[in-house]
Amino acid sequence: MTDSQSADAAQPITQIDFARAGVVTPQMAAVAAAEGREPEDIRAAVATGRIAIPANIHHASLAPAGVGSTLEGVPLSTKVNVNLGISGDLADEALEWEKVDVALELGADAIMDLSNSGKTRAFRRALVEKSPAMIGTVPMYDAIGYLEKALIAITPEDFLEVVRAHAEDGVDFVTIHAGMNRRVIESFKETGRLTNIVSRGGSLIFAWMEATGRENPFYEYYDEVLAILHEHDVCISIGDAMRPGSGYDATDAGQIAELIEIGKLTRRAWDAGVQVMVEGPGHMALDEIAANMKLEKRLCHEAPFYVLGPLVTDIAPGYDHITAAIGGAIAASAGADFLCYVTPAEHLRLPDANDVREGLVATKIAAHAADIAKGVPGARDRDNRMSDARRRVAWDEMFELSLDPVRARAVFESAPPSTEGTCTMCGKMCAMKTVNDIMDGLVVDLDAE
């Protein structure tokens, strides 16, 4: 290698590379502006891994978003992800684009393309080209269709090829289930579970490991995975293959054994100049959530935490966006940085566009409620503006300040009030209108027509 080549190899590529070199990138500046923080505070936290800014060098349409908290422990706003993608049982690309439109309309911070059937690369590339939201994928889902091989015939080199393809296509973060190694599997088998392994990616890797007798390829070849991700500045979202799929299995030996391994993998990724997010549970009782958030932060060195739900009960199919929003609000208020939405269709079928809307709004409510609770700077401002608009009975302002303005206006207009300026809940007995009139010196006579 020549001196010139050596110098080129040392040039910063990833956000964490630049942050450690003392450089505030345009992406860091954008996050600082969006969060109302100083750019230097963002840079310092990115340098240590406390904040991740998933931003593939090929994603030209990206509006960068930060996930995590500053070195002083001041949290960024809680981010929200939408899952979608082409399914083998319902391979309707037009439907998936409808979901994308809903996600972007309602301000999703991230979209994960979980397509798992056929040739998905064209859809993935088009999504990256269109979306200002960060894009995530699970390369393991795509392996069989991309490689056109049976699972047992796939080699570790094949898995790396799929990871490389996703990185080259411009995705900003990839879920890699690298923590479920042989030690974790032994713990799982020894202790047992009610719902076993519910992670789709984790189940596929487990099946491959059992069929081949080999170590998890993403664990065995972790350094090679990191090299690919570093080249394109792809954030690794270390997947929780052993996340609990029922409240009964929460905080068990398998989950914690994997989390310990993920903590080690987090440091290795940072050492390789790769940004990290850590994925978490799952299904979990209310009283276990806060402790799990603290446990992840401790074991994974304060890496940003990305959680699914948690779902706080297992008996609400058709309403799991609510069970997840309850858990998500608690999780984020206790330190989680990123919430993956759950839709009403969870556990039942592939979600449609309306399910996406319902799930995303529920999760955004959870994220925003948590931001108020944990003191994210400026989080309460929008609520205060809404309250002021309600005091003034300024309906158009209320609609615009709503998380879902279209839904809010439609509900209001579905039942026109007989008294102008009110709604049909209280009509002429509207407390806001009554007090406003009195404060303006008017006489209030509710019996008058």
Detail the residues annotated as belonging to a binding site for Zn(2+): 283, 347
Residue 283 has φ and ψ, to the nearest 5°, of: -110, 135
* C-alpha span between 367 and 361 (Å, rounded): 10
Looking at 56-199, list the stretches that DSSP marks H as alpha helix, in order from N- to C-terminal side.
93-105, 121-130, 139-147, 156-169, 182-191
**CB-based contact 245:195 (threshold 8 Å):** yes
* C-alpha span between 336 and 371 (Å, rounded): 10
Q: How many other C-beta atoms are found inside a 10 Å radius of the C-beta of residue 219?
A: 21
Looking at 217-352, list the stretches that DSSP marks H as alpha helix, in order from N- to C-terminal side.
217-220, 222-232, 253-271, 286-299, 320-333
* C-alpha span between 52 and 46 (Å, rounded): 6
Binding site residues, as ranges?
Answer: 83, 112, 141, 177, 199-201, 240-243, 279, 283, 306, 347, 423, 426, 430
- Rounded to a whole number of angstroms, the CA Rg of the chain reads 24
Binding site residues for [4Fe-4S] cluster, as ranges?
Answer: 423, 426, 430
Burial code of 309-327, b = ≥16 C-beta within 10 A, e = fewer?
bbbbbbebeeebbbbbbbb
The token pair at 118 is 């056929």
* C-alpha span between 75 and 68 (Å, rounded): 6
The set of residues, in sequence order, having a beta carbon less than 8 Å from that of 94 and lying 6+ positions away, is none
The set of residues, in sequence order, having a beta carbon less than 8 Å from that of 421 and lying 6+ positions away, is 393, 395, 430, 433
Residue 248 is given by DSSP the state G
Binding site residues for substrate, as ranges?
Answer: 83, 112, 141, 177, 199-201, 240-243, 279, 306
* C-alpha span between 147 and 154 (Å, rounded): 8
Nearest of 140, 222, 228 to residue 181 by alpha carbon = 222
Tell whether the torsion through CA atoms of 224, 227, 228 and 234 is positive or negative. positive
3-state class (DSSP) for residue 318:
coil
The token pair at 387 is 């309250």
Q: How many other C-beta atoms are found inside a 10 Å radius of the C-beta of residue 209?
A: 18
**How do 51-52 and 305-308 pair as beta strands?**
unpaired
